[in-house]
Structure formats: structure tokens, C-alpha cells
Amino acid sequence: MDFEAVNWLAVIAAAVVAWLFGAAWYRGLSKPWLKAARLDPATMKKSPLPFVISFIAELVMAYIMALVVGAMTGGEPTLLAGLVFGFVLWLGFVATTLSVNHRYQNFGWDLTLIDGGHWLGALLIIGAVIGWFGAAAA
């Protein structure tokens, strides 16, 4: 795996679009999410830190996706390959982890579906952008 053969424009664009998707997702589902997470907005500490951390996490995800899709496609990623890998990585790691963690934390499936849906969308977007932009310029 060539850790230097990454289209950085694709990585940054993918992270930005995925972050914006997350903002829209949770804005639209804020009330059910707060209820499912058992959070009271009146007692929550307001901080920009979660937004910064989520963007950094999405940058890392986009970089890893670029490496995986690039390696698995022989350095020629496509939109379809990005979508497939986005789904497979979500199913293999995110859906399973959320399902396990939320059961141990005694949360309901509603939280798992909301959070899982967000990460499915984010990884599909990241994969699609990585595949659409293609390989790094030589």
C-alpha cells in the first residue's frame, strides 16, 4: 500500500461533504437523537470541540478510504468502487461496533439506527468522492 499516493484534494473534499452531511442529518434528527441518547439540551455543555473532532475523524476516514480504495483498485478508484468500499467498511466496522457498544451502554435501537444511518451516509459520501475524484495526479 502506497501511503503517499493519495489524492489530497479528494480527501479534503470528502471530509467536508461528509461533515456537512452530518450537520444536516443531526439537525433534522436532533429531537429523536437527543431522546434516544437520553440527553437534556438544557444541561448540555455547549462547545465547538465535538464539531472539530468529528471533522478530524472524517479527514482520517477519508484518508484511510483513499488508501483502501486505491490499493484495492490498483490505484484507479472509481465512483462505484468508492460506494462499495464505503458500504463494506461501514457494515464490517461501524454497524457492528455501534450495535455492540449501544447494547452494553443500554441504549435502544433507535440511537443505533440514527447514528448508524449517519455513518453509513458519511462513508458512502466519502467513498463516492474518493472514487469520483480518482487517483492522485502524478
Q: C-alpha grid cell for residue 135?
A: 487517483
- Its pTM stands at 0.93
- The larger pLDDT score, comparing residue 38 to residue 1, is at 38
Q: C-alpha grid cell for residue 65?
A: 478510504
Residue 106 has pLDDT above 90, yes or no: yes
- The larger pLDDT score, comparing residue 57 to residue 76, is at 57
Mean pLDDT for the stretch of residues 108-136:
95
| Cβ contacts of 60 within 8 Å, gap of 6 or more | none
Confidence class of residue 5 from pLDDT cuts 50, 70 and 90?
confident
Q: C-alpha grid cell for residue 70?
A: 486505491
What pLDDT is stored for residue 75 in this prediction? Answer: 86
What pLDDT is stored for residue 137 in this prediction? Answer: 60
Mean pLDDT for the stretch of residues 30-38:
97
Q: How far is it, in rounded angstroms, from Cα 79 to Cα 58?
A: 18
Helix, strand, coil percent values for the chain (each to nearest 5): 75, 0, 25
* Predicted confidence (pLDDT) per residue in 14-25, tens digit: 999 999 999 999
* Predicted confidence (pLDDT) per residue in 115-126, tens digit: 999 999 999 999
The answer to whether 18 touches 126, Cβ cutoff 8 Å, is yes
The whole-chain average pLDDT of the chain stands at 94
Q: How far is it, in rounded angstroms, from Cα 110 to Cα 102?
A: 10
What pLDDT is stored for residue 103 in this prediction? Answer: 97
